[in-house]
A = this chain, B = another copy of it.
Amino acid sequence: MTTIDDPSRKAVVLLSGGLDSTTTLAIARAEGRRCFCLSFAYGQRQSIELARAAAVAGRLGAERHLVLRLDLDRIGGSALTADLEVPKGRAYEEMERAIPVTYVPGRNTIFLAHAVAWAETLGAGEIFIGVNALDYSGYPDCRPEFLAAFETTANLGTKAGVEGRRFVIRAPLLHLSKKEIIRKGLALGVDYGLTHSCYDPDAEGRACGACDACRLRLKGFAEAGVKDPVAYRTRG
């Protein structure tokens, strides 16, 4: 039987190996949580991020790192999982205006649903996710109203939820700018050289510097007044 033995201590942390989820893990660790990190091999073209996620989980003292397979590439509909071109050099205003082709249908719902399932099995009460509604790519599943609705769904659809042991979705970066996220991570000792954000890395894993993820990341480092430690193959 599932028992939520100490909900204030165990947490499932969704970890892509990117800047945001790495900072989120550092925050959960700083809060004293025992962190169970969850990543997905979902057919993403930037699969190098899984190796980075493993390195980050090890460095930040995660209790465990579980990588689950998903067949999202068989569903398609995204430049990250299908043979569509990743947009490059978009202006920030453009990112704010429309949902880009790098949007993956249902991704965060699927990720969170697995995180809740694992949390229920582990007896964890919290799920940490590094979504951000400020410096982000316009994905609908990164918005606070989505997270609130998902939390309600999770508590109605699980044994633990029905039995009154409530799951909480924690999104500590939700209202931070990229600059603030980076400053917070650096204050917690995060080595951003371990992380990977680019949607279109080359064979050596070097970032393109031009996709939305790279541009948001570079803007954040510039505003924080710090050099981004990862390798770029082109850089403006």
Q: Are B161 and A117 in contact (CB under 8 A)?
A: no
A residues 156-190 in Cβ contact with B at 8 Å:
156-159, 161-162
- Tell yes or no: A152 within 8 A of B by CB: yes
A residues 98-120 in Cβ contact with B at 8 Å:
99, 101, 103-110, 113-114, 116-118, 120
Q: Are B116 and A2 in contact (CB under 8 A)?
A: no
- Tell yes or no: A205 within 8 A of B by CB: no
Question: Which of chain B's residues have a CB closer than 8 A to the CB of A146?
Answer: 153, 156-157
Query: Interface readout for A135-161 with B: 1 if CB under 8 Å, 0 if not?
Result: 000001101011001101110111101
Question: Which of chain B's residues have a CB closer than 8 A to the CB of A74?
Answer: 66, 68
Chain A contact residues (Cβ within 8 angstroms of B): what range?
A: 35 or more
- Tell yes or no: A72 within 8 A of B by CB: yes
- Tell yes or no: A69 within 8 A of B by CB: yes
User: Known contacts A2-B77, A74-B68, A105-B116: does B161 contact A157 (CB below 8 Å)?
Assistant: no
How many chain copies does the complex carry? 2
Q: Are B109 and A153 in contact (CB under 8 A)?
A: yes
Which residue of chain B lies nearest to A153 when distances are taken between CB atoms in the complex? B149
- Tell yes or no: A70 within 8 A of B by CB: yes
Q: Are A105 and B159 in contact (CB under 8 A)?
A: yes
Question: Which of chain B's residues have a CB closer than 8 A to the CB of A162?
Answer: 99, 140
Residue of A105, A108, A143, A156 ringed by the most chain B CB atoms within 10 A: A105
5 closest Cβ contacts across the A-B interface? Answer: A106-B117, A77-B121, A105-B117, A141-B157, A109-B113
Known interface pairs A69-B70, A105-B159, A149-B152; 13 further A-B residue pairs with C-beta atoms within 8 A, sorted by A's residue number: A66-B74, A68-B74, A76-B121, A77-B117, A105-B158, A106-B157, A109-B153, A109-B154, A110-B117, A140-B157, A140-B161, A143-B156, A153-B153
